[in-house]
Amino acid sequence: MTEGNFVDYVKINVASGKGGKGSTHLRREKYVAKGGPDGGDGGRGGHIILRGNSQFWTLYHLKFKRHFKAEKGNDGGKNRITGSNGKDIFIDVPLGTVVKNTTDQSTIFEITEEGEERIICEGGKGGRGNWHFKSSTNQTPRYAQPGLPNQEIQITLELKVLADVGLVGFPNAGKSTLLSVITDAKPKIADYEFTTLKPNLGIVKYRDFRTFIMADIPGIIEGASEGKGLGHYFLRHIERNSTLLFMIPSDSDDIVTSYKILLKELKKYNPEMLDKSRLIAITKSDLLDDELIKEVEFEIKEKIEEEFIFISSISNTGLTELKDKIWKMLN
């Protein structure tokens, strides 16, 4: 997946179909002088339905089609014939899509399962025909119900990436490099901050033909939970990952402090994120000799309890062990 066609945020207008009106037809047949009312009911307007589809990874297919309008229900006919329902419109979205009302930004629902269908706009109900209104005192009603009006709403679709492992770290921590080495993904890699602006997904091949999905999340900076560095756009992608891999470069000023800053930002954004299983990867370990590695290891063990591992994407050091640890955490 290239960065250019990854779309995780779209606004669309959806409108259901209005209901068909009931018929005021009166029965007219040879030798039947007063046939009475026989007007049928109107058909229901078409729904707008959002459907979860695991074949989609992005909202790119909705980027250029912003308006969806369902068919209206057909009117009722003679002989109590009910009008046909308007055709429903199905909008396929990737799993992990959050649907919000654009006006007040309230969350309406989330799509998380394959084939899950949720109606966002109900079609108008068809009006009742005049035969419903006949009585002993009104045997030929010449009126019927109109169909109920349709619903129309502007909604915002936000995609929260569904992955087994999310890579969390400051910009330039080596997240994209790791993804490019252990998966077939080809994220943009450069030696400046915020090279990655949109999530990249890759499938990691493990032993015995087993796989898991890894997501490269754009870098987080201090204050991201308050929106700094587009933090709100990036942090939501971490919510769906079952395991978090914190990536901190070995040449950081203070590895433990960096880790605590990342934890603090996650906690501020959503405290539930701290319930996920965590693993720390000290990247760029090829810059350290054995003596320095022992020093760093001793310092980390003194201050934090989480499990950690030294890796290098350039020299492929510790990557097999990293996969083993992640697989163990996932299962």
Kindly state the average pLDDT of the residues 98-103: 93
**How far is it, in rounded angstroms, from Cα 90 to Cα 14?**
11
Using one digit for the tens of pLDDT, what is the confidence trace for 18-74? 999 999 999 888 888 788 899 999 999 999 999 999 888 888 889 889 999 999 999
For residue 122 the two structure tokens come to 């109900």
The hierarchical CATH code for the domain 1-159 is 2.70.210.12
Q: What is the fold, at CATH topology level, of the domain defined by 165-330?
A: Rossmann fold (3.40.50)
pTM: 0.72
What mean pLDDT is predicted for residues 223-232? 59
Percent of the chain that is helix, strand, coil (3-state, to 5): 25, 25, 50
Label residue 227 by pLDDT band (50, 70, 90). Answer: low
Asked if pLDDT for residue 192 goes beyond 60, the answer is no
Classify 60 as helix, strand or coil: helix
Considering only 8-17, 198-207, 276-285, 314-323, which range has the smallest mean pLDDT?
198-207
**Percentage of the chain lying above the pLDDT 70 cut:** 90
**pLDDT in the model for residue 191:** 56
Rounded Cα distance, 109 and 93, in Å: 13
Question: Structural domain boundaries of the chain?
Answer: 1-159, 165-330
What confidence tier does 2 reach under pLDDT thresholds 50, 70, 90?
A: very low
Do 165-330 and 1-159 fall under one CATH topology?
no
Does residue 126 register a pLDDT over 90?
yes
CA 3 to chain centroid, in Å, comes to: 17
Which tens digits make up the pLDDT trace of 245-297?
898 888 888 888 888 888 888 888 888 888 888 888 888 888 777 788 888 88
**pLDDT level of residue 226 (50, 70, 90 thresholds):** low
What average pLDDT does the chain have? 85
Model pLDDT, residue 189? 64
Please tell me the predicted confidence (pLDDT) of residue 81.
Answer: 93
